[in-house]
Amino acid sequence: MRKIERLDIAGTSLDREMAAISPVLDAVVRPHAAPLPGEALSLQSVWYRLMKLTNLINRPFFSRYAERYHLTINDARVLVTLACMPDAAAHELCEATGMHPMNVSRSVATLRRQDRIIDRRDPANGRRKILQLTPKGWAVCHAFAPDMERMAQFLLASMSPIEVELLSRLTDLLIARLATIDSRSGLPADAAEPAPRRGASGRAPRIAR
């Protein structure tokens, strides 16, 4: 796989730069570039480093806000998501955050007890419960939103605009890929057995016994 070089986009169009590296992008997501079995157990694997990246992004939350506001990271995710998409139902929070329904349910119950969210019936659909932030919920979001913004700026400051755009597109690809997993199992389905190779005659080769 070719190394992606840092691109200077001063005075050029972002679209032209993206077109210039599209072959590299295709190579990155090409199926044959999938990790080998057992590679996830390596500290240098992409999978392991993505897991570490997630932990490092979340770490400042635990040091500054978890104890102060009596929140878990899942509680914070629900609050932030409701700030972005008011009037959401619980299943819509699951879809937006990628969280397990049980974790969303627990956070909703906790935040309701803390008077940070309320729920009401959707007047257009009596079976749908709409969740909303209360003034207390908004106050908590406004408290840690500036730090979230500073973290995002700090994280991406080491990258050029074209690299940020590439990262955004790759992230969308990974999210779309993971969205195909059966939510009940939490793991990808086993691959189907490969079809036997056929020779020039069109018949499957005979296996010596």
The Cα–Cα gap between 183 and 178 comes to 10
Q: What's the residue count for the chain?
A: 209
- Report whether pLDDT(28) > 60: no
CB count in 10 Å sphere of residue 51: 12
- Report whether pLDDT(12) > 60: no
**Mean pLDDT, rounded, of the chain:** 77
The Cα–Cα gap between 186 and 61 comes to 26
The pair phi, psi for residue 127, each rounded to 5°, is -90, -10
Give 135-182 pLDDT, tens digit per residue. Answer: 999 999 998 888 888 888 999 999 999 999 999 999 999 999 888 887
CATH number, span 41-174:
1.10.10.10
**Average of pLDDT values for 185-199?**
54
Sequence spans of domains, the chain:
41-174
Give 47-101 pLDDT, tens digit per residue. Answer: 888 889 988 988 888 778 888 888 899 999 999 999 999 889 999 999 999 999 9
**Average of pLDDT values for 15-30?**
56
Any long-range contacts for 15-18 (C-beta under 8 Å, 24+ apart)? 17/162, 18/162, 18/165, 18/166
